[in-house]
Structure 1
Amino acid sequence: MSETMQTTGVDASDATDADLLGQTVTAVRAAGSALRERFGEVVRYRTREELMRALAANGDTALGILRPRLTRLRPDAGWVEDELDGGALPPGEWWVVDPAEGNVNHLHALPEWAVTATLVRDNRPVLTAVHLPLTGETCTALTGAGAHLDGRRLHVSRTADLGLSVVATSQARPDEDEAVVRRVGASITAMLSDALVVRTTVPATLHLLNVAAGRIDAFWQFAGARADLLPGALLVSEAGGRLSDVEGRPWTPRSDSFLAAAPGVHAQAVATLSR
């Protein structure tokens, strides 16, 4: 609990969303510091079981910091920590957390990983904090108050030509079913024809942060989970971007596809991905 909340006697349940966001930032930074201490050497594994143990060790390290801190902030909120869970949540408040977003990159000594925490209220993300421990950057968004990177307001790009755009996609999960794999492959082929550059890597949240920051122009993904889409969805929408499924319909956690884009290329991206 923040010093202000302690000295004024304000209960955590009465804190404003802005207060909660500030404390969420503190939590993800602390968890990120712990994961950074574990980063550097490639973690070797020979079996799927060894891989899962290594992934779990990172997750447990970060969750040991995140869960008690976020629970103190919102004791009655539900808790979602399975990064592969998807679909709608029951009514009420939920913490949707990815303790090591891009965990497999961390194990391979690759820099694209983060710690994320998002408060969802009645299936709408209301605040999110995304911390990149290797750069020290923290990206935040609060419903109605914009998206920020270390205090600097973020805006999506003004690009209006998909042919001049850098776009990206991500693998939603390992062992995806064949129909989704084929759909992903076809979408990449279509974008290779229509966009300037296509990036394909994990995790989704970092691509979405880049859309919010105007560094890339669009991101899409088939299937997907709450933990890898909700933080970025709030970042992009608060930075002025457009969200939908790949056919242009409103996106919800139940949707089977996701598209986030600068307004000037959204319709062109829909046309490419839905043909």
Structure 2
Amino acid sequence: MPGTAREPRSDVDLLAQTVTAVRAAGAVLHERFGEVVRYETRDELMRALAANDDVALDVLRPRLTRLRPQARWVDDELEGGALPGGEWWVVDPAEGNVNHLHGLPDWAVTATLVRDNQPVLTAVHVPLRGETYTALAGGGAHVDGRPLRMSGAESLGLSLVATSQARPDEDEAVVRRVGSSITAMLRDALVLRTSVPATLHLLDVATGRVDAFWQFAGARADLLPGALLVAEAGGSLSDAEGRPWTPASGSFLAAAPGVHAEAVATLSR
């Protein structure tokens, strides 16, 4: 029963119980999935998105709060930047929510524990795939218990790459930078995929199905789960110019080590 979760003894134990929470929230969203949700105004769209968030949060918030009562909660999933010290739950109750509303399968539930601005564990449940991805800082990355390994790609010209739109209504400078980066990657990479959400692309990078992913701007909840998964799977993380990535960075790049430098060169043009 949800109210009987025991106090975790270690981060390994905490991750296992976090998995239980994201799977439970995913089951609730799965029950709501199917027909396209129609809307005619931005207000109607926002209410539909909020309804999905609320039903998942009703499952996640009490469970995660019981697991880590001292951890604070990031209430706005679109927020970016560094966090104050201490522990924080960074949660996206319906990552890819707009896909869920449109009857598309690309959505997930994520929960990441951040400690002094470092992600220490994450769980990502993808209900329609029946998969749960986990990572523990220093403990590796897994999907349903199987270890994840990055692609061995060594040429950007032979690579499948991906990018995502961080949010609607992005400012003009970011929109122009996104457009120019896509043009550059269309020239230098083999094939380019563009879709939302970022987390599902990063799952593909961590499993070696995709060789590189980049994004400009972005929220913590978009990038932290995948960043930890990619790092623990042996990938390279930076901003688009090759500098160390933090949640305060203005861009993000995750890539197989063999193509990271080429991807930086392409995105820096």
Deviation at 1:5, TM superposition (A): 7.8
Residue equivalent to 1:262: 256
Which residue in the other structure is 1:138 paired with? 132
Matched, 1:191 2:185: yes
- Aligned residue number for residue 16 of structure 2: 22
The aligned amino acid for 2:118 is R
Selected match of 2:93 from 99, 108, 114: 99
In 1, distance between residues paired with 2:22 and 2:82? 24
Deviations 1:49-83 (A, max 9, x none): 00000000000000000000000000010101322
Aligned position for 1:113: 107
Match of 2:230 in 1: 236
* Aligned partner letter, 1:67: R
Shift of 1:15: 2.0
Which of 80, 85, 97 does residue 86 from structure 1 map onto?
A: 80
**1:258 partner SS:** strand
TM-score, with structure 2 as normaliser: 0.98
CA contact 1:82–1:98 (8 Å) conserved in 2: no
| Residue 147 of structure 1 pairs with residue 150 of structure 2 | no
TM-score, normalised by the number of residues in structure 1: 0.96
Query: SS in structure 1 opposite 2:114?
Result: strand
In the alignment, is residue 46 of structure 1 matched against residue 46 of structure 2? no
**C-alpha separation in 2, matches of 1:91 and 1:197:** 40
- Structure 2 CA distance for aligned equivalents of residues 82 and 147 of structure 1: 26
Q: How does 1:137-216 map to 2 (within 5 A)?
A: 137-216=131-210
How far, CA to CA, are the matches of 2:50 and 2:188 in structure 1? Answer: 39
Ranges of 4+ aligned residues in structure 1 off by more than 4 Å:
none
- Cα contact 2:5–2:67 (8 A) shared by 1: no
* Matches of 1:187 and 1:198, distance apart in 2: 11
**What residue is the counterpart of 1:9 in the other structure?**
none
- Asked if the contact 1:113–1:132 (Cα under 8 Å) also holds between the matched residues in 2, the reply is yes
CA contact (8 A) 2:86 2:116 kept: yes
* Distance (whole Å) between structure 2 residues aligned to residue 264 and residue 73 of structure 1: 39
Q: In the TM superposition, what is the alpha-carbon distance from 1:151 to its structure 2 partner?
A: 0.6
Deviation at 1:213, TM superposition (A): 0.1
Check conservation: 1:242, 1:266, Cα contact below 8 A. yes
Instruction: Tell me which amino acid in the other structure corresponds to 1:79.
Output: W
Map Cα deviations across residues 169-193 of structure 1 (whole Å, 9 max, x no partner). 0000100000000000000000000
* C-alpha distance in 2 between matches for 1:221 and 1:74: 31
Structural RMSD (CA): 1.5
Quote the sequence identity (%): 80
> How far is 1:238 from its partner?
0.1
SS of equivalent to 1:264? coil
- Return closer, same or farther for 1:269/1:50 CA change in 2, 3 Å cut-off: same
Tell me if structure 2 keeps the 8 A contact 1:81–1:98.
no
Q: Distance in 1 between matches of 2:5 and 2:76?
A: 30
CA offsets 1:94-142 (integer angstroms, 9 cap, x no match): 0000000000000000000000000000000000000001111000000
Q: 2: distance between equivalents of 1:118 and 1:15?
A: 18
In 2 relative to 1, CA 27–5 (structure 1 residues): closer, same or farther, beyond 3 Å? closer
Q: Which position in structure 2 is the counterpart of 1:36?
A: 30
